[in-house]
Amino acid sequence: MTVGIIIFPGSNCDYDCYYVLKRILGVSVRYLWHKDTDVSGLDLIILPGGFSYGDYLRTGAIAKFSPIMTEVKRFADRGGKVLGICNGFQILAETGMLPGALIRNKTLRFICREVYLRVETDQTPFTKLYVPGEVIQLPIAHTDGNYYADSDTLKELEEQGRIVFRYSDPFGNLDEEYNFNGSLNHIAGIVNQGRNILGLMPHPERRVDPIVGGIDGARLFESILELVAV
């Protein structure tokens, strides 16, 4: 099992991912520069959070043309698992690998806080170890995390069970007060039709080491890596 973590100019959560995978979960990890084109031997590619290219033009708009993205698409087309966290999700949406777009938070502000998420499905390689309906806590840290898609796309996501995480209250109820960025249908994370690409705005990599106050993100990585028998 080897994981590749892409570094775009402006990525800043790459080491958090590296630390969690290498030091906590003991997995082999390789950094990939955005100009690299060799993704051979990888089982999972992570697009980490940050502000690639300073969020110029639109979030993810310039990173999507990085040479490595052509290879990431090919990798995903062959069934390879791809995880986009925060800015990584924004980049995957820009490339069209995931539907919709992440627009400015309804508050117009950068929001950095703990949120409650309702896990919607365990039918993805990323959430096998969660129980549908359970509420977990992860931090968010973004200005553009307000999920938007047209009504046909939303309907498709709902019907195909591709919404993986929703912002909720501590009891799993969908309350607009807890939908801090204003996402449509409270969407925090979705998968593609093939269910091998996950994009989410919250940061699971920041809740794996117990020292930081929570480990709700751990099962996401453990699910993908099949470190724990299901």
Partner 1 sequence: MKATVLVRLKADILDPQGKAVLGILQNLGYTGVRNVRVGKLIEIELDDSRQEHPESQLQDMATKVLSNPVIESVELKLDDAGVRK
- Supply the residues annotated as catalytic: 86, 203, 205
Tokens encoding 37? 């084109």
Looking at the Cβ atoms of 2 and 107, the one nearer to partner 1 is 107
Looking at the Cβ atoms of 152 and 159, the one nearer to partner 1 is 152
Q: Are 46 and 200 in contact (CB under 8 A)?
A: no
CB of 37 to partner 1, least distance (A): 21
Query: Which positions touch partner 1 (CB under 8 A)?
Result: 57-58, 61, 65, 93-94, 99-101, 103-108, 148-150, 182
Distance CA 151, CA 138 (A): 28
CB of 58 to partner 1, least distance (A): 6
Q: Which ranges of 78-217 does DSSP label H, i.e. alpha helix?
A: 87-95, 151-159
Sign of the Cα torsion 144, 218, 120, 191 reads: positive
CB of 219 to partner 1, least distance (A): 31
Contacts of 57 (CB under 8 A, 6+ apart): none
- Cα R_g (the chain), whole angstroms: 16
Looking at the Cβ atoms of 127 and 181, the one nearer to partner 1 is 181
DSSP state of 146: E
Distance CA 86, CA 58 (A): 14
Looking at the Cβ atoms of 108 and 211, the one nearer to partner 1 is 108
Distance CA 84, CA 89 (A): 4
CB of 39 to partner 1, least distance (A): 24
